Amino acid sequence: MSRETPLTAVARPALRAGVLLVYIVGVEWARALVGTAPYAAIPALVLGGLALGVTAWGWSQSSLGLSSSRLGLRLLGGVAIAAVLLLPAAVRAGAAPMLPVSVAAAAVVVSVGEEIAFRGALFAALEQVGGAPLAAIGTTVAWTAAHALSHPPEFLGAVAAAGLLLGLWRAVCRDLVAPIVGHVIADLAL
Amino acid sequence: MKKAALLAAAAILYAGMAWMVAPGFYDGFTPPQPYNFVCPPPQAGANLPPTSGHLVIKVIGGVSDANSAFTDDGQVVIGFLPGSFKVNPGQTTITVDITPVSPCPKPAGLHFSTNAYHVTADATLVKPATLVMVYSNLTTDPSFVYRAQSGDGPWENIGAASQARLWTIDTKTSTLGYFAAGFPSNAVSPNGAGSGQQVLPFIVAALIAAVLLAGIPLTIIRRRQAAGGGDADEKEDEEP
């Protein structure tokens, strides 16, 4: 019968969080690089989204923040997050890019995959290491790093702020449904 | 209350950060870099002028080498196969120049989504060249590439290949000259991108309305339930 020492109690979750972080950022970077090849943009989005979704394996629904309880409020929270994410573009420009229809389905896959990976699995892993504050900050840093290849540098401040908002929602409300809904709506609209 | 304040602060921080970059968004499927317009649309925000391109193609054994000319900002790329140019006797190099056209041509019946570019060479093109033009996510997607021998037109539709990369349109051209990507003014963009550009404020207004209209009654109902049957909210907060 094995007994878990204090060291392994910390090291194992930390190792798991580290592996998850490297995997998730690696998938995002690979997706960004492969997507620049001819005819690869949509396959890269779909495969990247699916590869990110794999990170949910081994986690319970509750530890990922997924639940159907209070579903109305969770969905409403997602709508509110989407409104916040889209508001600057709506007010600042009065017009903004709309996602081509051909990319919309792929955008849904990758949005859901990103939320499961960052605010779901990685958040849960980091929370086991250092609690919700570490998880919110850690997922924000990882999220920003993951977008470093796909976004111009001047956008990374907004990317980080969005990651922080989504991560705080996950921490405060113990909910992943709203970040998924908000992320999907925002990506479809932009 | 403290949690709500934290989320509100994060939302305000995001709004501030997103406000600093045009068009004010955090993610989505953007081109790798903002488009440099000769005539920027109002929603473009800060805009850098587009750059020109210059290429010297070697002539080896009387045949022009394969090479690609591109503008420094990568908004136009034109690729040439070996032997693409008619080489004059004694000619050892062929020079290709790409220059953004200013002022912006505004031909009747056409709307250009991209800048117009003038592509010149000091030899005659004898094999079709592949032209790739980047376009902005802030403008309506172009349907075709148009070519003219003068900046004043007339502009000829030279088609478009199927989209190989997002935010690019490409075609083949048998002559050099003036190029721009766009669509007939009376046409609807094939993927609907442009038609939706003014929809965003309405989408956001609808989202806010949905939050207010559904959120207030939901909150009241939940408070009544909590007051009548214990603090179900607190339990669910811990385990959603």
Q: Tens of pLDDT along A92-141?
A: 654 445 556 667 788 889 999 999 999 999 999 999 998 999 999 999 99
- Binary contact (A168, B10; C-beta < 8 A): yes
* Domain tally, chain A: 1
**B7-39 pLDDT, tens digit each:** 999 999 999 988 887 666 666 665 556 789 999
* Domain tally, chain B: 2
Mean pLDDT of chain A: 87
Say how many C-beta atoms besides its own lie within 10 A of residue A121's C-beta.
27
| Residue B117, helix vs strand vs coil | strand
B21 interface with A at CB cutoff 8 Å: yes
Tell me, yes or no, whether A1 lies in a domain. Answer: no
The pLDDT confidence band at residue B100, using thresholds 50, 70 and 90, is very high
Residues of chain A found within 8 Å of residue B193, distances taken between Cβ atoms: 97-100
- Binary contact (B197, A67; C-beta < 8 A): no
Q: How far apart are CA B195 and CA B202, in angstroms?
A: 13
**Predicted pLDDT of residue B234:** 43
Strand-strand pairing, B63-64 and B53-60: antiparallel
**Predicted pLDDT of residue B160:** 84
**B59-74 pLDDT, tens digit each:** 988 899 888 889 888 8
The mean pLDDT of A65-75, rounded to a whole number, is: 88
- Closest residue of A to B238, CA-based? A174
Tell me, yes or no, whether A153 lies in a domain. Answer: yes
Interface test with chain A among B2, B3, B12, B29, by most A beta carbons within 10 Å: B29
Tell me, yes or no, whether A28 lies in a domain. Answer: yes
Q: Which domain holds residue A65?
A: 6-189
Q: How far apart are CA B177 and CA B161, in angstroms?
A: 19
Q: Which of B80, B155, B180 is nearest to B121 (CA)?
A: B80
B176 and B104 together in one domain: yes
Which of B11, B200, B240 is facing A62, going by the closest CB pair?
A: B240
The mean pLDDT of B136-160, rounded to a whole number, is: 86
B112 and B203 together in one domain: no
B85 and B176 together in one domain: yes
Tell me, yes or no, whether B228 lies in a domain. Answer: no
Q: What are phi and psi of B25, to 5 degrees?
A: -145, 170
B50 and B151 together in one domain: yes
Q: Which domain holds residue B101?
A: 32-186
Which of A79, A96, A154 is facing B197, going by the closest CB pair?
A: A96
Interface predicted TM-score of the whole assembly (ipTM), two decimals: 0.90
Q: Count each helix (H run) and each strand (E run) in chain B, helices first.
A: 3, 14
Residue predicted with more confidence, A183 or B199: A183
**Predicted pLDDT of residue B191:** 45
Tell me, yes or no, whether B226 lies in a domain. Answer: no
**Predicted pLDDT of residue B193:** 43
B52 and B167 together in one domain: yes
The mean pLDDT of A14-42, rounded to a whole number, is: 87
Burial A1-33 (b: 16+ CB within 10 A, else e): eeeeeeeeeeeebeebbeebbebbbebbbebbe
- Note if the bond before B23 is cis, omega within 30 degrees: yes
